[in-house]
Amino acid sequence: MGIAAFLSVVRSDGRARLLAAGAGLLGVGAFAPFTVFWLAWLSWGALFLLVSRAPSPRAAAWRGFAFGLAQFLGGVSWVYVSLHDVGGMPLPVAALATLALCAYMALYPMAAAWSARRLDFSDKVSWRSACLFAASWVLAEWARGWVLTGFPWLALGYSQSPPSPLAGLAPLLGVYGVSLASALLGAWGALAVVGRQRLPGLLVLLLLGLGAGLGLVQWTAPVGEPLRVALLQGNIPQDLKWEPERFLDSLTTYVGLARDNPADLTVLPETAVPALYDQLPPEFIADLKALAARRGGDLLLGVPVADESSGERRYYNSAIGFGASPQQSYSKAHLVPFGEFVPPGFRWFLDLMHMPMSDFSSGGGRQPTLALAGQQIAPNICYEDVFGGEIIHALPRATLLVNLSNTAWFGHSLAQPQHLQIAQLRALETGRPMLRATNTGMTAVVAPDGRVQAVLPPFTRGALVAEVRGYQGLTPFARTGNTVALFLATLLLAAGALARRRETQ
């Protein structure tokens, strides 16, 4: 099919929006649990053609909105599960809230499509059009990652976790750099196939070869002796976890798992037990400490903490480390709106859900690493690991990354495998193993090359016991963060716009 034939198909703007929505839904298949990474190239390639051939920037914007709305409705449907199935919110309110969130996130693809078409005002579609499209997409995606505290879920680059050849770019450019490469590859591929242009085809091969080649580079090196870790997965349903009569069950579950799986480092998930740390029975803490220290090891416990040192009582979502080492703690810094703190004017929204402990304080950024089990550990709690630019603050001191999560809030949905895929990119970006201890899944060990070394089946009770090593050194991304990817996107945007203006003069 040539460009002229394609134009005849999408002449109707309504039909083009339907095609864009279909492409957005198709793109969900590139992410976990489906992980058909090349579907992203097809999906974003189709969006590129639809945007670049829109009759106006306004038409392009609505095509981008349709794409984004379909993608997020399909990919983050777990928001509805969290609100209604687990949180108990009335169905109409939960459905409306999910739709509103997805529509808000679709504004970013809408802005990217408008920008790309606004700058690409020539009738000739070329490799420069692809540069404008990819750069606009990445800058909008980056903005989505920090505006209103940020929601970077389903960033395009996450779809390129191993075995995608583009995963090799992550240690240099981070997830947004991989997003840029993926969008370019999709757009260039569309030009090569639909437009039958030779140069874009060559650029596709070059980009794939570059990513595959860089994937062979070892940016960091192991340090110290191998470490035996036990990551505990209690699998306690969220709707039962906070019932008083289940309190003892939570305690005995984790003590039993720790006792049966001795390790140098034992990790329990986020809010593993339904009580504040100072409310826990002393014998429970003593048992855990003794079990951890029997191998000269340590334990990391996810537990809410109350603190009155500031003159008022504040609550923190924390991880407490103890055992053979002195007691240390980390408190979650990047909180989730509605889940962990209440935005002004939205208390009524939280009252519709059965969500205990939903008003935490931030622990602050750049907290010290925890010296446990002979390693320097950088904890991150649940949603924090979606912010790669913040995770690198613990480097180069940190030798291990440890994520503690309670994903029981999302039920049997796409959230658990998607979250594990995010952890794969964090391991790649930092050149560090990522250990994940979760309540219901996915409890896993991710190697520094981004591959999943071991994983427990979700919604089962057990311990993942594995041997890992700490790593030292810095990847290029750990040194520069998102700066290089954003610079490249800005450069492509400026160069593409300038080239377009020169063509029309």
Residues with catalytic roles? 270, 332, 382
Q: From the centroid of its chain, how far is CA 22?
A: 23
- Running DSSP on this structure, what letter comes out for residue 376? E
Closest Cα to residue 268, out of 312, 292, 240, 299? 299
DSSP letter for 366, please: S
Cβ atoms of residues 476 and 170 within 8 Å:
no
Backbone angles phi, psi at 323, to 5 degrees: 140, -125
Residue with the two structure tokens 């939903």: 358
CA dist 208 and 195 (Å) reads 20
| Spatial separation of the C-alpha atoms in residues 501 and 248, rounded to whole Å | 70
Residues 6+ apart with CB under 8 A from 446: 420, 423, 424, 426, 427, 433, 434, 435, 436, 452, 453
Which helix (DSSP H) or strand (DSSP E) does residue 250 occupy? helix 247-260
Per DSSP bridges, beta strands 400-405 and 434-438 are parallel
- Measured between alpha carbons, how far is 221 from 448 in angstroms, rounded to an integer? 9
N-term to C-term CA, the chain:
30
Q: Is 462 exposed, middle or buried (0-12, 13-18, 19+ CB in 10 A)?
A: middle
Q: Which residues pair with 381 in a beta bridge?
A: 404
Q: What is the secondary structure of 276-338 as a DSSP string?
A: -GGGS-HHHHHHHHHHHHTTT-EEEEEEEEEE-TTSS-EEEEEEEEEESSPPEEEE--SPPBT
Tell me the three state secondary structure of residue 468.
Answer: strand
The answer to whether 493 and 129 are in contact (CB under 8 A) is no
**Residue 335 near residue 362 (C-beta atoms within 8 A):** yes
Q: How far is CA 282 from CA 26, 277, 308, in A?
A: 52, 10, 20
Biggest CA pair distance of the chain: 80
* Separation of alpha carbons 500 and 117, rounded Å: 11
Q: How many other CB atoms are found less than 10 A from the CB of residue 503? A: 12
